[in-house]
Structure 1
Amino acid sequence: MKKRIKFMIGPIYNYVRKASHRRRYQYRGYYEKLKVMDDTIFYESRDGKSLSDSPYAIFKYLVNHPEYKHFKHIWSINSSGEIDNVVAPYKGLNNVTFVKRHSKEYLKCLATSKYLINNSTFQSFFIPKDEQVYINTWHGTPLKSMGYDIPGNPAQSQNVIRNFLSADYLLSPNQHTTNIFLESYKLKGLYHGEIIQEGYPRIDSTYHTDPGVFKSLLAELALRIDPNKQTILYAPTWKGNSVSKAKNDMDQIIRDMSYLKQRVGEEYNVFIKVHPFLYNEARKFSEIKDLLIPDAVDTNELLSVVDILITDYSSIFFDFLVTDKPILFYIWDYQTYKEERGVYLSEDKWPGPTLFTIQEVSAAVRDISKISDDYTPVYQAAKEKFTAHDDGNVTPRIVQYIFNESKTPLNVIQPLEADKKKILIYPGGLRNNGITSSFINLTDNIDFNKYDVSIYMNRPTSDEILKNLEKVNKQARFLFRDDFAVNSLYEDYRDKFIHHSGAHTAFTKKLYPENAYRREFRRVFGRTKFDYAIDFSGYSLNWAKYILAANANKKLCYMHNDLLSDSERAINGRKPHRRNLRGLFSVYHRFDKLVSVSSGTMELNRNNLSEFAEEFKFDYAMNSINPKKILQLGSEDYTLQYNEINKVGIQEPLPNNLNFVTMGRLSPEKGQDNLIKAFAQFHQGFANSKLYIIGEGPLRMHLEKLIADLQLQQSVFLVGQLENPFPLMTKCDCFVLSSHYEGQPMVLLEAMTHGMKIIATDIVANRTVLENGRYGLLVENSINGLTDGLNQMARNELNNKLDEFIPEEYNKKAMETFYRVLGR
């Protein structure tokens, strides 16, 4: 009953109670119904907190040149008194409008403006239209690590990458920043647009701002400025790991600036410009009220009146290089910051001294002439490397190229690699299971010289997922689904209905909201095109619907198991996969290929599921393995692992015992209850035998009770999930797989790679992997069959029957089947 109520009122509740959902619904309406308005430019800088940076530089140029008077300019602004002074000069212009961020008018303008210019990111509901031109100017040359180079969860940069993929143009001031886009954000091989490496429009403002006029503006903002003194600006970077959790460094900033002002205040004006993420916190402190530069003030105009810049890891120092004035790097937390965030340039390449105490900073200010002379060679080298294009005329070059379609040659990079095929793949949840192992192995084996691989998944939310994510080949990129889809209320209900009932009938097929799913793909991937889109998990309509909506030439869905049996599998009276799989079955006909993981499993799935798709769509690609890694993990020190499992009463496999091991999820289809019962019979004749069961799952309590009922607590051990199971496995004499059904069991391939003796139930998947008994003993899928296999092992009857498994040869065949289903 609760589920029905949630189904009925969920979308309406979200609309009424949650502003973020309401914005999405409203934006979707404007996006679908309103046309794009030519000659309209929509600007946003720093989430609407200011008119600043390169968007402001482009705006000023267009407004002040009559040949562009036909353009209508719309600025996104937050409601703030501080921005009024910047906005005031433009309010009287007929072709300039200001809209409040998040308002209905804001959403309309975002959905209908021809040109969109942002120096950071639009929010996660933004979707580019084909008719729109999105220019992302970004906001600085990076010193600190960016994108996938930032330590920790890689999903923290997802909205940035999403915006980049949506942009037609990215502005880059230098090759270093271009490399950050291509490598650190992994745009190389995927980004469809152009990177214009011609300098930053915003730096033009430093060249062209009248210092006297600007000092008067600062005085009007109630800042204490003496026009006869030189000016020091302290501009530390943001030290947080997310926008909502910026560290509060204000106590240190206030203490340091008070000291500096006491020491040099007679000769210098001292001002503070904090990062926008810290500004609202900073303005609460009355002690710096007359030193704190308002967030609405354009930083590059401000730099025109600065004589000495003090900073840490902020990109502001790169812009300041064009002034030829001195820079001091006050990095009191350098070691911590370097470890937590990372930096791209070694200290010897910084165009100024690195200082670790405020006393050193004060002394450096008093000795600034000598410091300037000492650092001239490094300063000039940095200037040549990072600001070579910044000559004060960047803005007209950019404007003419984008708005006039000027043929004047500029330094434009198009990162798309036409010679590589682009794969988009959903790997599943990256939990500890066979599908995850198979996927990780695939990324280790795929030929990255021929394929560009993007991995599409939810944000990682646990250490388990993050650890598996770390195991994925670094040449692949992760693209995370970071928020809710931009649907209408009606589309939300249709989506819910399809998840509940599938799309089996003519009526439900009409309800399938394909346009909503395509819009969601566009939201996440912008204008990106793929050659192949693959649902590698193959267990959820929730992800299959987005793979099917991908802008891709060919769409494939994996089938890792006997899926009809899996859909009917019951655990504690429930069938956990039934609804998901039945829903997935109903869209099988939309895929180009349905890929089982062995030829035998393909035949089984084709026979069982032929009503859902044409027979020719069923194919197979064998799971690949990583023999080198498997063997390396098996050779790791067992002592540390044993110390952990011994804490919970698990005995070490001893050489004088007969040790059996199995591995897999504790779930009905794995047949561990049959194996335990078979082992109980076998154990009566071999008292020195032990059985180790590696894995976790919903049947743990049931299996614990079974072990206790059979009085096998000292002989059968539920080991649990192990980060590296191979040292324990290889200490055992024989691997046993008791499954009732499988797709292509990775555990068998791993055991075979280690040269272990194997007993497995005679089911289609096991028979295929073991090649009808060539590499292991196949036994009847029953308690008696397993007992007989254990006895044969104990009597050494397997020694001369099995062939040697050569994993490299197997792997070559496996990858050939993968490339074949792609249609290479």
Structure 2
Amino acid sequence: MAIPLHTAPARVRRQVRRLLRASAYEVYAFWRRRPVDPDVVLYESFGGNGMLCNPEAIFRGLRAAPDFGHLKHVWVLSDKSDNASVVREFASDAAVRFVSPGSQGYYRALATSGYLVNNATFPTEFSKRPQQVYLNTWHGTPLKRMGYDIGDPASRVANVIRNFLSADYLLAANRFMVEQMYEKAHLLRNIYRGEIIEEGYPRIDAQFTDVAGVNSVRDRLEAAGLPLTGRKIILYAPTWKGESFARPNDDAEELIRRVIELETLIDTSQYVVLLKTHQVVHQFAARRKEFRGRLVPNEIPTNSVLSATDILVTDYSSTFFDFLSTGRPIAFLTPDIDDYAGYRGLYMEPEEWPGPVVRTVAELAVELNVIARSGQRIEVAEGYAAMQEKYAAHEDGHATDRIIDIVFRGKRAGYRVGPVARDDRRSILINVGGMTPNGITSSALNLLNAIDHSKFDVSVVFPYSRRPRVLEKQAEINPAVRQFARVGGMSGSKITHAVRRVAWFRGDLSAHEHDPVQERLWDDEWTRCFGSSRFDFAIDFSGYGQLWATLMLHAPGAERSIWLHNDMAADAQRNVHGKRRQFRSLTGVFSLYRGYDHLVSVSPALAAINAHALDEYASVEKFVAAKNLVNAPHILRAAKLDVRQAATDITTGVVPGWATDLTAASAPTTFVTAGRLSPEKNHARMIRAFAAVHSDHPETRLIIVGDGPLYEQLSRLITELGLSTAIVLTGHQHNPYAVMAASDCFVLSSDYEGQPMVLLEALILDLPVVTVAFGSAGDALPTGVGLTVPATDDGLADGMRAFLRGEVPTAPFDNAAYNQDAMEQFYVAIGTAQPRG
């Protein structure tokens, strides 16, 4: 007897879901190898919630057009029982079939249909094939802020952006949608290479029906159990609530309470109140008996209902923009406007809305009774007319015909169809890695602040993550920068991926350029992530990941650069707990170097080291240098915070004792270092050196800021040396600068480094610096500043003693001049400028 999946252990459920996803990907990969059928149209509306919205209007328009009788139509329906009437309507029609989301039939249609029509998004695995034509109609003019305008993490809109960039056509009901929603809110300006059609909304054509059409809608409503009995219709059509379209709030209880209260306050002999929920929340209302006789079935299109509606009541729904074309009254019930506007934000103030805006049902009833007696208030009528002109000027009942002309007949003359706005800036795409709190992330953030955004259109890409530390760093990205979060996984069969993984295991990634199957796999992944976007410059700033290093080589027509933040050959050999954890992955990345135009180290000395150590992978002229940048204002602001507050544990609220001691008037002389606790940083040498210093100078202390794989090992060493009260391992600190600023001298003990940004940060904080000598140490500090000592226990101990004697030279650090020089190096390194002289 089969056990229901929801009762199985979590581990089993995860495994089953993993297998189901793998099966779906395999089916999709199979059909992507089959020809595209130009005579098949796939329609999806609200993820399969029904035959609804603009896709439904276009479908019916094509069905009625004599020249498109040869087309076959596939509709995505998640529940046929919820859409029984349309299923019955086309049950005997061989040209129309239905598929369930995620089914084999769905993936076959997604892979092989010549035309794709969606009013929201296809799933993350979707990647448009070159032979397909994709029309994304979206589902309304937004009153609520959209896309990046909300201020949420990029992951929230990642799949929307993917779909938009993949579409050949985006549909706009008005100029506001073009400029505000597409170009600004979703940052499509400059990079979207499809076209936007601004010819009105096909779904609104249903509102331009005649008396017979209105009566037909009323008959359909009554057949669904809604007792109109000759009364006029007040339609209450609120939007969905919550922070995720995929997981909306269940607000059915308050919706029905409002409807029932309103019924007691109006003349129900003249008016009937119907509720039309948003498609994504209909399920919550449909299963409750209180909604019977009040709830409009989901399968009856909203715009058909609007054609028979006498007064519309809504909140923040785009439905009111549709209803403008009727010229009939609108009222707005917004009890939660303070909270809602605070989270999502609104594109226009309530004072601009084309109808009375109220907070309670009682106030709403007053306004509706006024409208019933006298019509729309005079002061509202003028604003209503202005809104009609701005948002509904193209609505004339024939938008569907125009869309079919453009998309399916290829007719363009006389129609409003064209590209998004573009300027003369050159475009840069930068992979910034995992955005975890580390030196690479800090360097990337500094770079993104310093790039001249008046000359360059900049985008960054990073993996999807929900980790708070990562989201904090993503939130620090300059707002002028477009953010892509990579969601979903690569398409392709399991055999194709097995071949790829075997090659990766061997440390050879070159198959992507000489094996047609592997090359297509990566080209498809580029399209899946970025659609038809093109960039002048593609940069792998992280430089450590096989996936990203390969993917950037598939940026069409771009000049490509990869960053070398360290002695990369030494990094490949780095041993952690007896294992060279990065050897295979970095060897694979090295095999890609020949495909890059520029291999950018973060200092001239490091460029020479990498050129020598990696000469078998690329010619010497490809190895160039560009210093990392610093963000002095941020560092100085953070350093001014109270170190006790900065070090407080956010989960327990506990202030560590060392933070309190650090601010005490009698605090001992404090050496400090900051960095990941990994082998190349050689903190063990620093600990042993400090032990020698501390034995002679017991009034000293060492603070080590950071976390990493060697934490326990270093803790044991500190205990063995009897230094538990003199050396502090702070773990990760959200604000290391406050700790550094409260210390006396910065110490570095690394075996090798690229360009240790922490040294520059110490100089910004006016800290004396003692560092051991390593390969690129000559570029690490300005001439005559700090003290470089031999990379031995005794050498580092002597450096600390030199500080105690006041013998470590210091000087003011000109961060502005440094950054200007670093940016000039960056532009030269990626190939957008020539070196001076």
- TM-score of Structure 1 vs Structure 2, range by shorter chain: over 0.9
Cα distance, 1:723–1:506 mapped onto 2, change above 3 Å: closer
Cα distance, 1:72–1:244 mapped onto 2, change above 3 Å: closer
Q: Is the partner of 1:245 in helix, strand or coil? A: coil
Alpha-carbon distance between aligned partners in 1 of 2:674 and 2:517, rounded to the nearest angstrom: 40
Matches within 5 A, 1:598-609: 598-609=603-614
Q: Is the partner of 1:196 in helix, strand or coil? A: strand
Other-structure match for 1:806: 814
Other-structure match for 2:215: 212
Q: Is the partner of 1:494 in helix, strand or coil? A: helix
Shift in Å, 1:174? 1.9
Alpha-carbon distance between aligned partners in 2 of 1:370 and 1:39, rounded to the nearest angstrom: 49
Other-structure match for 1:668: 679
| 1:533 and 1:552 in contact (8 A); partners too | no
Q: Does 1:141 align with 2:141?
A: yes
Q: What percent identity do the matched residue pairs reach?
A: 36
Match of 2:656 among 628, 647, 656: 647
The C-alpha deviation readout for 1:156-199, integer Å capped at 9, x for no partner, is 21111111000011111123222121111111121111122222
Other-structure match for 1:568: 573
Other-structure match for 1:778: 788
Other-structure match for 1:5: none
Matches within 5 A, 1:228-307: 228-264=230-266, 265-307=268-310
Question: How large is the RMSD of aligned CA atoms in angstroms?
Answer: 2.5
Q: Does 1:404 align with 2:405?
A: no
Using the size of structure 1 for normalisation, the TM-score is 0.93
Matches within 5 A, 1:723-742: 723-742=734-753
Which 10-residue stretch deviates more, 422-431 or 777-786? Answer: 422-431
The C-alpha deviation readout for 1:120-171, integer Å capped at 9, x for no partner, is 1112222112222111110001111211223443312111111100001111
The C-alpha deviation readout for 1:215-236, integer Å capped at 9, x for no partner, is 112222232222x210011111
Match of 1:542 among 529, 544, 547: 547
| 1:118 and 1:137 in contact (8 A); partners too | yes
Shift in Å, 1:637? 4.3
Shift in Å, 1:754? 2.7
Matches within 5 A, 1:675-690: 675-690=686-701
Matches within 5 A, 1:385-534: 385-415=390-420, 417=422, 419-503=424-508, 513-534=518-539
Match of 2:336 among 319, 333, 338: 333
| 1:597 and 1:623 in contact (8 A); partners too | yes
Matches within 5 A, 1:753-768: 753-768=764-779
The C-alpha deviation readout for 1:602-640, integer Å capped at 9, x for no partner, is 111121122222323222221112223223333344453
Alpha-carbon distance between aligned partners in 2 of 1:814 and 1:618, rounded to the nearest angstrom: 16
| 1:762 and 1:778 in contact (8 A); partners too | yes
Shift in Å, 1:514? 3.0
| 1:239 and 1:247 in contact (8 A); partners too | yes
Residue identity in the other structure for 1:304 = S
Shift in Å, 1:367? 2.1
| 1:16 and 1:22 in contact (8 A); partners too | no
Matches within 5 A, 1:705-720: 705-720=716-731
Which 10-residue stretch deviates more, 785-794 or 509-518? Answer: 509-518
Which 10-residue stretch deviates more, 330-339 or 184-193? Answer: 330-339
The C-alpha deviation readout for 1:677-704, integer Å capped at 9, x for no partner, is 2122122332322222211112222222
| 1:86 and 1:297 in contact (8 A); partners too | no
Q: Is the partner of 1:788 in helix, strand or coil? A: helix
Q: Does 1:162 align with 2:170?
A: no
| 2:143 and 2:347 in contact (8 A); partners too | yes
Q: Is the partner of 1:534 in helix, strand or coil? A: strand
Alpha-carbon distance between aligned partners in 2 of 1:344 and 1:431, rounded to the nearest angstrom: 34
| 1:653 and 1:659 in contact (8 A); partners too | no
Gaps of 5+ in 2: 1-13, 833-837
Other-structure match for 1:703: 714
Other-structure match for 1:53: 53
Alpha-carbon distance between aligned partners in 2 of 1:405 and 1:104, rounded to the nearest angstrom: 31
Which 10-residue stretch deviates more, 216-225 or 126-135? Answer: 216-225
Residue identity in the other structure for 1:451 = F
Matches within 5 A, 1:86-97: 86-91=86-91, 95-97=95-97
Other-structure match for 1:8: none
Cα distance, 1:382–1:508 mapped onto 2, change above 3 Å: closer
Residue identity in the other structure for 1:181 = Y
Other-structure match for 1:823: 831
Shift in Å, 1:99? 4.1
| 1:76 and 1:106 in contact (8 A); partners too | yes
Alpha-carbon distance between aligned partners in 1 of 2:79 and 2:664, rounded to the nearest angstrom: 72
Cα distance, 1:221–1:609 mapped onto 2, change above 3 Å: same
| 2:312 and 2:320 in contact (8 A); partners too | yes
Q: Does 1:375 align with 2:377?
A: no
The C-alpha deviation readout for 1:729-773, integer Å capped at 9, x for no partner, is 1232221111111011110111122332211111122221214x5
| 2:567 and 2:610 in contact (8 A); partners too | yes
Cα distance, 1:712–1:14 mapped onto 2, change above 3 Å: closer
Alpha-carbon distance between aligned partners in 2 of 1:719 and 1:580, rounded to the nearest angstrom: 31
Using the size of structure 2 for normalisation, the TM-score is 0.91
Shift in Å, 1:642? 5.9
Cα distance, 1:18–1:240 mapped onto 2, change above 3 Å: farther
Shift in Å, 1:35? 2.1
Residue identity in the other structure for 2:813 = F
Alpha-carbon distance between aligned partners in 1 of 2:156 and 2:812, rounded to the nearest angstrom: 47
Residue identity in the other structure for 1:677 = R
Q: Is the partner of 1:611 in helix, strand or coil? A: coil
Q: Is the partner of 2:226 in helix, strand or coil? A: coil
Which 10-residue stretch deviates more, 231-240 or 433-442? Answer: 231-240
Alpha-carbon distance between aligned partners in 2 of 1:373 and 1:347, rounded to the nearest angstrom: 17
Alpha-carbon distance between aligned partners in 2 of 1:700 and 1:345, rounded to the nearest angstrom: 53
Shift in Å, 1:387? 1.2
Matches within 5 A, 1:57-206: 57-91=57-91, 95-178=95-178, 179-206=180-207
The C-alpha deviation readout for 1:635-662, integer Å capped at 9, x for no partner, is 3444533666843444215566422221
| 1:145 and 1:341 in contact (8 A); partners too | yes
Cα distance, 1:288–1:507 mapped onto 2, change above 3 Å: closer
Alpha-carbon distance between aligned partners in 1 of 2:421 and 2:560, rounded to the nearest angstrom: 21
The C-alpha deviation readout for 1:286-321, integer Å capped at 9, x for no partner, is 121222111111111110011111111111111111
| 2:511 and 2:519 in contact (8 A); partners too | no
Corresponding residue pairs, total: 808
Shift in Å, 1:676? 1.8
